[in-house]
Structure 1
Amino acid sequence: MSFRPYLGKASAVIGYVLQTACITHCIIEYVGDFVLCTGPSMEPTLETNNILFTEHITPRLQRLRRGDIITAKCPTDPKQNICKRITGLPGDKVKGYFPRGSQVVPRGHVWLEGDNSDNSKDSRMYGPVPQGLIRGRVVCRVWPLNKMSLLTEH
C-alpha cells in the first residue's frame, strides 16, 4: 500500500489552507475587520456590544477627517483598544485639561474625544494621539441588526 497519493492530496489541502490564512490575514490587517465596541464613552452614538466594521485604508493614507470615528491603540495602555471621534487635526487649537487651557494639535497627531464627554477618557486627559496608533476608521455598525447604520459623515 502506497501513501504517495494521500501525501499529494494532503499537501495540496495544506497549501490551500495556508493560502487562505495568508489572504485572510492580509485582508484583516490592511483592508478592514470587525470590532466589538465596549464601554460608555461613545454613547449614544455607539453602545456596548455593538459590532462595527472598520476599514484600514484611510488611516494608512492619512486621509482622516474631523468627525471620523476611529479605533486605535490606547496611548496610555497599548494592550487596550479605544474607539473615539476625531475632533482635532494637526494645527487645530483644542481645549483640554492642562494648565494653559488650550493647545495646538502637533503634526502627526489627532485629538480624540468620546461622544459621551462626561464619561470618556480621551485626549482631554492624555493629550494628542499619534496617528500611528490609529488602527481603523469606523464605516458602519453591523450589530444589532435593528440599529445597522453607516457611521461616516462624508
Structure 2
Amino acid sequence: MGARVVGTCGAGGWRRARWRAGRASWAPYHCRMLRNALGKAFRFLGYTVQYGCIAHCAFEYLGGIVVCSGPSMEPTIQNSDIVFSESLSRHFYCIRKGDIVIVKSPNDPKSNICKRVIGLEGDKVCTSNPSDFLKSHSYVPKGHVWLEGDNLRNSTDSRCYGPVPYGLIRGRICLKCRTQLGLYENVEHAAAHFNCYSLNFCLLYTP
C-alpha cells in the first residue's frame, strides 16, 4: 500500500506567508494615506497661489499703506508719518505736477523713495541747488519726470540722479496721517482703519 505524503510548512514558511498577507493588507492603507497627503498639499499650494495673486493685484492696482522715514519731504511728510498711496493714477497716466509719488530708487531698485513731481516731459526745470549762485536749467525728456524733495537742502533727488523714467513710479500719495500728533495715535490703529483697502506695509526711505 503506497504511502501518502502530506506537504508541510516549516516555521520560516509560515512567517513569510504571514508577512506577505500583512503587506497585502497594509498596502491599500498606505496608498490612501499618500493620496490624502498629496491632495492636501496640492490644495494648500493652490490656495496660496490664489491668495498671492489677489494680494499682488490689490497692491499693484489699488494701493497700500506706507510708513515714511527720512527728512527729505519735511515739512509736508514728517519722519514716521503714515500715508496711503494709490496706484491707479500711474496706470492711467494721471500724474501731475505737484503730486507726491512713491518711486523705485534709480540708484537702488530694491528700495523706494518719496518725492514731489516738479516737472513732466517737456517742462523746463531748474537743476541747481538752492545755494548755487548761478542757476542752470534743463528740459525733462519724453517719458520722464523731474522729482525733488520738499526739503531741498537735505534731499537726494533728480538734481543728483537726473530725470526719472515714468515707469519707476509706483503710486501717488493721496492721504496722510501722523503717528504722534495726528489723526491716529499708532500704526496699529491706522492699519485697522485702512485694512479695507490694503495691508501692504513697507518702510519708505526719503533720503
Matched-pair contact (CA < 8 Å) for 1:140–1:148: no
2:86 corresponds, among 23, 34, 55, to 55
The root-mean-square deviation of aligned C-alpha atoms, in Å, is: 2.5
SS of alignment partner, residue 175 of structure 2: strand
- Alpha-carbon distance in structure 2 between the residues aligned to 1:120 and 1:61: 28
Structure 1 counterpart of 2:104: 73
Q: Where does residue 50 of structure 2 map in the other structure?
A: 19
2:72 is aligned to 41
Query: Are residues 1:110 and 2:145 paired?
Result: yes
**Residue ranges of structure 2 left out of the alignment (5+ in a row):** 1-28, 185-207
Distance 1:102 1:75 in 2: 21
Aligned residues: 149
2:79 and 2:127 mapped to 1: Cα distance? Answer: 26
Task: For residue 8 of structure 1, report the CA deviation from its aligned partner.
Answer: 6.2
Partner of 1:152 in structure 2? none
Q: Considering fraction of residues, name the structure with more strand.
A: 1
Q: Secondary structure at the match of 1:26?
A: helix
Summarize deviations over 1:63-100 as a string: whole Å, max 9, x none.
10011100001112222211000011111100013998
For residues 119-130 of structure 1, the aligned pairs below 5 Å read: 119-130=154-165
Letter in 2 for 1:50: D
CA distance in 2, matches of 1:12, 1:144: 41
TM-score by length of 2: 0.62
Residues 6 and 73 of structure 1, relative CA distance in 2, 3 Å threshold: closer
Residues 97, 125 of structure 1: 8 Å contact kept: no
Please state how far the C-alpha of 1:62 moved relative to its aligned partner: 1.3
Relative to the length of structure 1, the TM-score reads 0.81
Q: Which amino acid aligns with 2:168?
A: L
| Structure of greater Rg | 2
Identity of aligned residues (%): 50
**Alpha-carbon displacement from aligned partner over 1:37-68 (angstroms, at most 9, x marks no partner):** 11100001111222221111111221100111
Contact in 1 for aligned 2:148/2:157 (Cα 8 Å): yes
- Alpha-carbon distance between aligned partners in 2 of 1:5 and 1:127, rounded to the nearest angstrom: 58
Q: Which runs of 5+ in 1 are unaligned?
A: 150-154
SS at match of 1:147: coil
